[in-house]
Amino acid sequence: MSYPLEGVRVLELGQIIAGTYGNQVLSDLGAEVIKVETPEGDLGRIPSVAPYRGLSALFLTFNRNKKSIVINLKTEPGRALFHDLVKVSDVVVDNFRPGVLERLQIDYGTLSRVNPRIIQCSVTGFGATGAYKDYPALDLIIQAISGHMAITGEPGRPPVRVGIPLADMSGGIYSCKGILAALYARERTGRGQRVEISMFDAMLNLLSYIATLWLTDGVLPRPPGSAHEYTVPWQAFEAKDGHVVVATRQDNFWRKLCGVLGEPGLAEDPRFATNADRVANRETLVPRLEQIFRTRSVAEWLERLRAAGVPAAPVNNLDGAFAEPPVAERGMIVEYDHPDVGKVRLPGNPIKMTDIPATPSQAAPRLGEHTDAVLRGLLSLSPERIAQLRQQGAIK
């Protein structure tokens, strides 16, 4: 068995999350990903960014299965060296601000002359052109301006940021998709192309049907908390020792829920007979359900709800989430040994395929760990030439 992207080589100029996450997915699928770092290194290496034993958990997470080389692209020998690597690579990924690629002479126009088959993917905040092209592309900024924070949280409360760096990760997710599409297109055309991902665009796309309702009918959503504007009950309820969610869009689930709650009369009440009725009478129904759910523990409710076939789940902390059976069954924890911090455990690749082995688990690299090996192996540079480049400040 082999990985589906074996033989694909990616040069990663990206930093933090938006420019690295998509490439981590590619590396999990077998691509050779070479981080081309500045002498100072990826900003994601800074220990204050999710500190873990003196290193950055962020960097350890998004850079497994990658190699690291250091090239100073501000020097002429460094740029020439990078161009030589482009000749033997398939993809270049960055998340620089617009204009940086042109200043460094590594824009798509330049690189496509070096290698017409090269695919260049840039992840930006708002695109390479337009009124907002120079705005800072930070996760919080994109979450706020894209409307996500306005629909997240409890009604009547201040806006809430999604608990993960969703805007950054959306840039990575869509860059991975774009790169795979460009690789497939190249099989037919023989040519590479430029792929551009705007984090703002990605987050607008993730608004899905909520955006459709606004764009077509002017329906302005409000933050629903754990509830659903168009389904009742579909939310978290407080139990004796935690919270449990139930999702009963279909009326047959509603009737089953009433049986579990010991309230068959609720199912017969015309105010709650259909989902539309329950939505219209939410303010009457939900407080009654809240009162009932407080009478038992989460485990007691889950046993009864699942036995009756009612969709339900605990509201887990991470300890509960990673203790759930599918985690082990589907290999969703991978481990690697890092030379500086020892064993690192992190989430695995959710893409499971019949013809590939488990997720590879090589440690996130030290800064410049593979510089000499990559230059020898890919460009056949001699030790003397590598030493000369180092003396010139082109590599570290």
Residues carrying an active site annotation = 228
Strands 91-94 and 9-12 come out as parallel
- Round to whole Å and give the CA distance between 386 and 391: 9
For 59, the enclosing helix (H) or strand (E) is helix 57-62
SS (H, E, C) 119-184: EEEEEECCCCCCCCCCCCCCHHHHHHHCCCHHHCCCCCCCCCCCCCCHHHHHHHHHHHHHHHHHHH
Element (H, E) at 114: helix 108-114
Beta bridge partners of 33: 10, 66
CA pair distance 379, 293, nearest whole angstrom: 66
Q: Cα angle vertex 204, ends 63, 31, to 5°?
A: 25
Q: Beta strand 55-56 with 91-94: parallel, antiparallel or unpaired?
A: unpaired
232, 237, 287 from 292: Cα distances, Å:
16, 9, 9
Q: In what order do the strands lie in the sheet with 243-247?
A: 234-238, 243-247, 312-314
Residue 95 has which token pair? 């998340």
E-state strands within 21-79? 32-37, 51-52, 55-56, 66-70
Phi-psi region of 216 (alpha: psi -120 to 50; beta: other; left: phi over 0): alpha
Is the alpha carbon torsion for 379, 380, 384, 386 positive or negative?
positive
